[in-house]
Amino acid sequence: MAGSGIVELLPLGLSKATGLSLAARRLGVKAAGTIAFGDMPNDVPMFGWAAHGVAMANAHPELLAVADEVTASNEEDGIAVVLERLFG
């Protein structure tokens, strides 16, 4: 992904899903117990790996199309809204 003032680079064949999978494996967590949050198209593979993909309200339309849930925007603490609902 690239934009004004932002460039993200990953080695060929790697994605956020790869990183999430490796971290989960090291922590002994199965994909069935995961939640992923995102806002851009580069989060699509991560949503495909995670059990539950949550897009921010201000997310890119491509990610909104594959999200399991849409939460409040970044400015409205959307991640906290979901975590508080799930974990009190």
For 47-65, the pLDDT digits (tens) are 999 999 999 999 999 999 9
In a domain, 62, yes or no: yes
In a domain, 43, yes or no: yes
In a domain, 22, yes or no: no
Between the ranges 10-14, 25-29, 68-72, where is the mean pLDDT highest? 68-72
Least Cα distance to 78 among 19, 37, 34, 17 occurs for 37
Q: What percentage of the chain carries pLDDT values higher than 90?
A: 68
Instruction: Please state the domain count of the chain.
Output: 1
Using CA atoms, how far apart are residues 39 and 41, in angstroms rounded to an integer? 7
In a domain, 19, yes or no: no
Residue 5, sorted as left (phi over 0), alpha (psi -120 to 50) or beta, turns out to be left
In a domain, 21, yes or no: no
In a domain, 16, yes or no: no
2 pLDDT tier (thresholds 50, 70, 90): low
pLDDT at 3: 66
Give the domain range for residue 76.
Answer: 35-88
Q: Which residue has the higher pLDDT, 15 or 7?
A: 15
